[in-house]
Amino acid sequence: FAGGLPGGLDNPLGARALYLYRGGRDTYYRIHGTNNASTIGRATSAGCIRLFNQDILDLYSRVELGSAVKVRTPEESLAMEGRMVEGPTGLMVRFDSLSPEIQQQINNGIQPWPPFVAVSGVSGTNSIGSTEALE
């Protein structure tokens, strides 16, 4: 969208975008704001990391080109946070925070709501390859 959609409130990348590079090449993954705050914390992207606009504005002001970015693998996240599932509102919740009845349904293959689908391809150490102010 960088070359074709002007910045502003209608831009899906929100107020700022940090472009993740690996080995000097664009991964096509971004850390960015959003024009739809209700999508934060939901499994609705193609792999980008979406933040509230005030958070990407803060992060953008503090990172430099070449800053290392560690994106965890699903296995690393599981080890650090425990099993996560998409809750009834679409937000990710800890599996052990759900009622035993819901846990049993999920363990029996019955999904009370759509499952979270992890996107692979950007885990590991990346770097900020370029930045964009989208105002």
Which residues are identified as catalytic?
A: 32, 48
Query: In Å, how far are 42, 95, 101, 111 from 108, measured between CA atoms?
Result: 23, 14, 11, 9
